[in-house]
Amino acid sequence: MRFAVVGDESVGTAIREAGGSVVSPDEEPSADAVVAVGESSVADAVFDSAFDCPVFPVDCGAPWSVPRRELTDAISSVTAGDGRLFEHPILSVTVGGDQVGRALFDTMLITSEPARISEYGVAHVGPEAPVDTPTDESDDDWVSVDEFRADGVVVATPLGSTGYARAAGGSVVGPNAGVAVVPVSPYATRTDTWVFQPPLRLTVERDDTPVSLVVDDGVVCDVSPSDPVYVTVDGTATLLSR
């Protein structure tokens, strides 16, 4: 098999030891898979239109991501035909009717100033709603889940559920199981966390302090109480695991 490498070219040695070949993304024939080392490299590979093949995550912390020390054995399994493909959700994040970003790992509302809290709301689409419920804040099909005082709230995909969301007390989510929704440093001593299938609506309930919207690892905009944030699934990424 032919593998392109993103993030750390030194893993090419492990790929060759496992019987694979390493190719440049610009070479022909094209790669059969992309070995992406680290979260940012996985996101780069998924969102880079130059790659039209599965992405093999390395050192991302998720159960189906391979630690670098096990890469040779993992590539050997894949080249022997024992690899598994699964479709991973890509989240679309919309504010004020405009898509402001796409997330492979997570998206989060967080207070912009340290040691400040705000109040957040989470809503999901009820079971009787149409599948394509519009992102409309007045739509009766939205069902409130909870409102809570906290530093923020994070929505994590299965791949991102082992990162910040888990550190904040959320569950690790398996492929196709939905997304983890987790309050960040809640003011209350006992606060629930949830696993839902999108679409979801996040809201800032008080105008106490500036709140920022983060998509994966980048701050994209400020969010006010008048601007609900809608999180929907916008396609999938094909990931490869042993």
Cβ density class 141-156: b for 16+ within 10 Å, e for less: bbeebeebbbbbbbbb
Stated as kind and residue range, the H or E segment containing 111 is: strand 106-111
Class of domain 2-82: alpha beta
Q: Is 200:123 a contact under the CB 8 Å cutoff?
A: yes
What's the CA gap between 221 and 118, in Å, rounded? 16
pLDDT at residue number 78: 93
CATH for 91-235, options being 2.60.200.30, 2.60.120.510, 1.20.1070.10, 1.10.1740.10: 2.60.200.30
Domain ranges of the chain: 2-82, 91-235
Per-residue pLDDT of the chain (242 residues; tens, 9 = 90+): 999 999 999 999 999 999 999 998 666 568 899 999 999 999 999 998 778 899 999 998 887 789 999 999 999 999 998 999 999 999 999 998 899 999 999 999 999 988 788 999 999 987 666 555 555 555 678 999 999 999 999 999 999 999 999 999 999 998 889 999 999 999 887 789 999 999 999 999 998 899 999 999 899 999 999 899 999 999 999 999 88
What tokens does 111 get?
């207070």
CB atoms within 10 A of CB 131: 6
Q: How far apart are CA 228 and CA 86, in angstroms?
A: 31
Residues 6+ apart with CB under 8 A from 115: none
- Rounded Cα–Cα distance for residues 162 and 8 (Å): 22
C-alpha to C-alpha distances, 178 to 34, 40, 80, 170, 172, nearest whole angstrom:
25, 22, 31, 13, 10
Question: Do the beta carbons of residue 104 and residue 216 sit within 8 Å?
Answer: yes
Q: How remote is the C-alpha of 145 from its chain's centroid?
A: 21
Residue position matching structure tokens 């912390």: 61
Residue for token pair 């006010």: 224
